[in-house]
């Protein structure tokens, strides 16, 4: 109530502080609005480009239906391959320390930073008819380029590093002690992986799989170079957007909207998966009474 003169001068001026804070809040708000606007506007533009019934009827166009079929089939196969082979591979890379491990990890991650078009070109000169392995393969009667198998290969090549990276991190995060204890309790390597490492890494694996799946659905560059864009055979949704761009913009936009919804669904699934996985066993409250009633049901 009675501030002496010198100490009053040292104290921060309340009104300066308030103006500064208001300015900061306003500036932050403006930046956020601009950022969200920039990110959301194209989505809004795509969705509102044509009247709703046109949009829905364009979903049913032959090109769209074919592209949906190709996308679903190739991505389902590619996804299965990635998870089936990638999971044990990631487990070994995360759990074992061997000479050259970091080189292997770097090689695995290389496709992440490689331009997809270069990946497609690489696949073509490796497996194409005139390619490195293609010679041998075509002698055996196998022609990979510009087939659905090529689409699957392109997707696996481009998307699997996303899964591997996430899966290695997920397995890395599992406490080694728990796996060791499982061993002393009589569990062999397979049981240690399936009963301990996999369930504990589950959330991270799911999130990594979702990212890889989303990357696979959106795959464009490698596919168009290695597999081409043939409707009903190798034309995926992403390729159809590009293919229709000149011919029928309304249909291209409709497929674009479809891809937005698919991506949003994948993102949402991965978020839900990660959080529900954790909360299912990380809750800390427990009362025996409550639980026994629960168990009787």
Partner 1 sequence: MLVGPSGSGKTSLLRTVAGLERPRVGRVSFAGEVWLDAQRKVRLSPERRRVGYLPQDYGLFPHLDVAANVRFAGRRERPDLLERFGISNLSRARPQQLSGGERQRVALARALARDPRVLLLDEPFGALDTLTHQQVRDELSDLLAELQLPTLLVTHTFADATALGHRVGVLDQGRLAQVATPSELVRHPADATVAALTGANLLHGTATPAASGATVTLEGGGTLSSAARATGPVQIAIHPWELELANAETSTLTDTIVSVRQDRGALIIRLTRVTLQAKPIDNGQRSLEPGTTVGLRAAPGDVRVFGPGDNL
Residue 291 as a binder of partner 1 (CB under 8 A): the answer is yes
Taking the complex as a whole, the smallest distance from the CB of residue 290 to partner 1 amounts, in Å, to: 10
Site string for partner 1, 104-143 (x = CB under 8 A): ----------------------------------------
Entry field: residues in the chain: 297
Taking the complex as a whole, the smallest distance from the CB of residue 186 to partner 1 amounts, in Å, to: 5
Give φ, ψ of 235 to 5 degrees: -85, 105
In this structure, what token pair is assigned to residue 96? Answer: 């074992």
- Closer residue to partner 1 (CB): 202 or 228: 202
Find out whether 174 and 91 touch, Cβ atoms under 8 Å.
no
Taking the complex as a whole, the smallest distance from the CB of residue 80 to partner 1 amounts, in Å, to: 25
Cα 261 to Cα 247: distance, rounded to the nearest angstrom: 23
Cα 134 to Cα 143: distance, rounded to the nearest angstrom: 7
Closest CA to 69 of 217, 232, 224: 232
Residue 105's contacts (CB-CB under 8 Å, 6 or more residues apart) are 93, 168
Q: Any idea what DSSP says for residue 297?
A: -
- Closer residue to partner 1 (CB): 53 or 282: 282
- Closer residue to partner 1 (CB): 4 or 184: 184
Find out whether 116 and 221 touch, Cβ atoms under 8 Å.
yes
Residue 294 as a binder of partner 1 (CB under 8 A): the answer is yes
Residue 295 as a binder of partner 1 (CB under 8 A): the answer is yes
Taking the complex as a whole, the smallest distance from the CB of residue 189 to partner 1 amounts, in Å, to: 9
The single residue among 60, 246, 281, 297 that binds partner 1, judged by CB under 8 A, is: 281
Half-sphere exposure of 265 (CA within 13 A, CB side): 8
Residue 255 as a binder of partner 1 (CB under 8 A): the answer is no
Taking the complex as a whole, the smallest distance from the CB of residue 271 to partner 1 amounts, in Å, to: 20
Map the footprint of partner 1 across residues 173-232, applying CB under 8 A.
175, 177-178, 180-188, 195-196, 199-200
- Closer residue to partner 1 (CB): 7 or 177: 177
- Closer residue to partner 1 (CB): 225 or 273: 273
Cα 223 to Cα 145: distance, rounded to the nearest angstrom: 10
Residue 284 as a binder of partner 1 (CB under 8 A): the answer is yes
DSSP string of 163-229, one letter each residue: HHHHHHHHHHTS-HHHHHHHHHTT--HHHIIIIIIHHHHHHHHHHHHHHHHHHHHT--HHHHHHT--
Residue 101 as a binder of partner 1 (CB under 8 A): the answer is no
Number of residues that bind partner 1 (CB under 8 A): 27
From the list 132-140, 251-259, 265-273, 280-288, the region that binds partner 1 by CB under 8 A is: 280-288
Contacts with partner 1, residue ranges (CB under 8 A): 175, 177-178, 180-188, 195-196, 199-200, 281-286, 288, 291-292, 294-295
């Amino acid at each position: 109530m009675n501030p002496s003169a010198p100490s009053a001068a040292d104290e921060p001026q309340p009104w300066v502080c308030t103006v500064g804070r208001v300015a900061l809040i306003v500036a932050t708000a403006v930046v956020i609005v601009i950022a969200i606007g920039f990110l959301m506007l194209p989505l809004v533009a795509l969705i509102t480009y044509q009247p709703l019934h046109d949009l829905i009827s364009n979903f049913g166009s032959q090109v769209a239906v074919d592209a949906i079929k190709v996308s679903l089939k190739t991505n389902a196969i590619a996804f299965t391959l990635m998870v089936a082979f990638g999971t044990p591979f990631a487990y070994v890379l995360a759990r074992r320390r061997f000479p050259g491990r970091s080189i292997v990890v770097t090689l695995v991650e290389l496709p992440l930073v490689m331009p997809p078009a270069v990946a497609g070109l690489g696949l073509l000169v490796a497996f194409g008819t005139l390619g490195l392995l293609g010679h041998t393969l075509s002698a055996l009667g196998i022609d990979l380029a510009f087939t659905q198998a090529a689409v699957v290969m392109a997707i696996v090549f481009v998307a699997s590093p996303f899964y591997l990276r996430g899966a290695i991190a997920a397995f890395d995060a599992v406490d080694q002690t728990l796996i060791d204890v499982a061993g002393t309790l009589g569990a062999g390597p397979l049981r240690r992986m399936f009963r301990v490492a996999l369930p504990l890494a589950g959330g991270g694996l799911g999130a990594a799989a979702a990212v890889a799946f989303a990357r696979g659905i959106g795959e464009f560059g490698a596919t168009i170079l290695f597999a081409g864009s043939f409707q009903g055979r190798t034309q995926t949704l992403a390729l159809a957007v590009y293919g229709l761009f000149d011919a029928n913009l309304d249909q291209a936009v409709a497929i674009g909207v479809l891809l937005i919804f698919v991506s949003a669904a994948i993102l949402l699934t991965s978020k839900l998966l990660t959080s529900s996985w954790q909360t299912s066993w990380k809750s800390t409250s427990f009362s025996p009474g409550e639980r026994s009633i629960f168990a009787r049901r």
